Structure 1
Amino acid sequence: METEAVKALIQQGMPGADITVTGDGRHFEAVIVSPEFEGKSLIQRHKMVMATVHDEITSDTLHALSIKAYTPEQAK
């Protein structure tokens, strides 16, 4: 799986988010900045992101995704 494909999946599930994805084809790191994270716990934020790639994780197309999820204020 390519980084752009992972980014597209997250973007589709979280329109308007600022997303950066790096990785090696199996292990990826995503940095997501979204106003949707306002008032959400870290676990809630991670669940929101993981929901966007659930099928790929389940099928093992995407083996690992490290998530850094920030509100726009936190990203400043």
Structure 2
Amino acid sequence: MEASGALSAEALRERLLEGLEAEHVEVEDTTPGRCATSFKVLVVSPRFRGKPLLQRHRLVNEILADELKLIHAFEQRTLTPEQWAKEQEAK
């Protein structure tokens, strides 16, 4: 997180890549057109294997605990590498 307290999609991406040993992270700043800070993320991590959706989201929320205090809306998709590969094949 930047000293000014401002959040950026890239800063969130770096935190998720490092904190979850993620293979793929997409962060979209969906704030434009909204009244408060909001982000949408896609995280692909082997650490999600065998974990239900709620546990996956909790892992993401733990990594971004400080940042989430400053975010009004946060949408997340969490996939294992296998789920991600299957989605990519279907495209």
Normalised by the shorter chain, which TM-score bucket? 0.7 to 0.9
C-alpha displacement at 1:36, in angstroms? 0.7
Using the size of structure 2 for normalisation, the TM-score is 0.72
Q: Percent identity?
A: 32
The runs of 5 or more residues in structure 2 that have no matched partner are 1-6, 32-36, 86-91
Larger Rg, first or second structure (1 or 2): 2
Residues 12 and 52 of structure 1 are in contact (CA less than 8 Å); yes or no, is this contact kept in structure 2?
no
Which residue of structure 2 aligns with residue 14 of structure 1?
Answer: 20
* CA root-mean-square deviation: 1.4
Letter in 1 for 2:21: P
Select the structure that is richer in strand: 1
Partner of 2:79: 70
Contact 2:30 2:40 in 1 (8 A): no
Change over 3 Å in CA distance of 1:17–1:51 after alignment to 2: farther
TM-score normalised by structure 1 residue count? 0.85
